[in-house]
Each structure stands twice: as structure tokens, then as C-alpha cells.
Amino acid sequence: MTNLANPPRVLVIVLNWNGSDDTLACLESLAATDYPAADVMVIDNGSRESVVPAVRARFPQVACVELPQNLGYAGGNNVGLRHALSAGYAFAYVLNNDTMVTPTALSAAVAAADEPRVAAVGGKVQAADDPARLWMTYGSVNYRQSLIALAGWGEPDNGQYDVRRDVEWVPGCSMLLARAALEDVGLFDEHFFAYHEDVDWCTSARERGWRIVYAPEAVVWHRGNRTLGGAVYTSPRKYLSARSTILFARKHASLAQKLKLALAIVLTLPFVFVRRLVTGEAAGVVLKVRGWLDGLRDRDPPFEALGLR
């Protein structure tokens, strides 16, 4: 049981890449947390203009790390996770810089982790511009074209996801990771660079007998996918998510699941291309196809061409 008189230490990791305003707003929300044993680390992931000077001026208690280049979601957050392990923290709370936490979110997540074999806890993620609407809650892997299904995506929040439960994975925008699980499972797989590394980590944890818990009382607000273009179909997000879909399938899928994914891609691609051609977004389909192919060939992303470095 959690010792309320001596609560477990948590390192909150906030990764910034060209999103200074979001990062500062995230830190403002963290300043109001009711959890008494949390430290915060901001990692600037090779931004064009580092957020570190602004953080040090406004939040001198926050630790800062500046990386010379963009290491992706996995590589950047792993810098913080390594520090959490070496410094003896009981938990690491990985938080997207475009989120804002409610005052009780971290306390609720730590309380939910106080059960046997809990590797990760995720919370209810509401849309920052409309908290009455969900951004998402938790997810599953379905091996369709986009690999994953998101519970609650864009739905009105009418309490339909207000029950704590074990799930397949929770989103990396707000993810509490237990030290023991990190020591057993390892850190995020940096081969993914961006997208699906949260799904990969949770899947690896479950394969090793750990639990992934959704705790709806741990509420955060999320602006959502702002770093890599949000809903813009021609953004690098399309390439990276497609590449990571293939990497995930190569790592975790059975033969039947790989065939299901391949069939889904082949059958839906012509319709997707025609639809995006009509809307002037065919370039995004080309990026998706390139991502799938680079995943199959195990190639690194073209960082400079995609504007990632």
C-alpha cells in the first residue's frame, strides 16, 4: 500500500520540441498538483529555439536538459527515464508538453498503481478546448490499416469511461510508469522514433505478465498532435505512424495478424488515395506508403527531408 506519510517519489518528464508556449502552460498546470513528492524535468529535444531559458526564468525548481538534436519521442523521453532510474524514483510520469494536468491527476495515477504487477497507468484524456469532450481514454490493437483502436476518441464525456479497468495500452501523452516494470521491460524502443512506442511498451509489458491500468480519475487535458502537424494529412505524422505500424507488427504480430494488417492496407489504400486526391491531400498518402515501405525495409526516417532535424 502507498505510504501517505512518505509518498513514493515521482519524476515528471515533459519533452519539448518547438513547443515552448505549450510547455510553459503544462508546467503551470503541474505547479498546482496536489501530489507532494513530484519533481519535474523538462527535456528540450533539439528545438530550433530552446525552451530552457524560459523554463529556468519562470520555474527555477524544474530540472532542464538540452539535447543537441531531435531524438524523437522515445529517445527524448528515455533521457528522463534513465535519470529516474539512476536517481531512485519509484515512478516516472511521461507527459506530453501539449497537455495540462488537473491538480489531482498525478495523485490518482499513483493510487491506481498501488496494486500488484501494475506497469503503467493512464488517465482520462479530455480535449483541452472542450473538456466535456474526450480526446481518448485507452486503446487496443486491431491490426487494421492504422493498427490501433482508440476508446472514446472525440466522444462527449458522459461518464461512459468512468470505471477503472485493465486495458491493452494507454497513451503516452499521460503515462505513469513503475520503476520495477521499467527495470524488467526496458525503456521505450528508440527504433520507433515517434508514434506507437507507447503501444509497443505496453504490449511488451503485458507479454511479460505486467498490467496496464486505465484510471479515469486521473484527468488531463490535451491539445493533441500539435508537434507534428495535428490533423494535417500531409504532415510527417502520416509517414511516422505508418512506419511505426509496420515496426510494431514485425515485433509483436503473429503470422495471422500480419496477414490481416497487410490485407487491410491493400484493400483500403485505393479508396484512401482517391478520397485524399479529391481533397488535395494525395501527398499524405504517398508519405504513408513510404512509411510502410521503410518499416518493411527497417530504414530510419529521412529526418532532414521531413523537417525532424
C-alpha torsion 50→29→227→272, nearest 10: 180
Rama region for 94: left / alpha / beta (φ>0; ψ in -120 to 50; rest): beta
Phi and psi angles of residue 84, each rounded to the nearest 5 degrees, phi first: -60, -40
CA angle 265, 236, 40 (to 5 degrees): 115
Over residues 112-116, mean pLDDT: 97
Domain 10-222: give its CATH architecture: Alpha-Beta Complex (3.90)
The better pLDDT of the pair 257, 224 is held by 257
More confident residue, 232 or 289: 289
pLDDT in tens, 252-303: 999 999 999 999 998 887 777 677 666 767 777 888 899 999 999 999 999 8
Those residues whose C-beta lies under 8 Å from the C-beta of residue 167, and which sit 6 or more positions away, are 122, 138, 139, 140, 151, 212, 213, 214
Give the pLDDT band (50/70/90) at residue 225: low
The mean pLDDT value for 208-230 works out to: 84
d(CA 51, CA 42): 9
- Rounded CA-CA distance 281/163 in Å is 39
What global pTM score does this model have? 0.92
Q: What percent of the chain has pLDDT over 90?
A: 80
Mean pLDDT of 3-24: 92
Q: What is the pLDDT of residue 285?
A: 82
Q: What is the mean pLDDT of residues 171-184?
A: 98
pLDDT-derived band of residue 4, with 50, 70 and 90 as boundaries? low
Write the pLDDT tens digit of every residue in 48-81: 999 999 999 999 999 999 999 999 999 999 999 9
Query: Phi and psi (nearest 5°) for 274?
Result: -65, -45
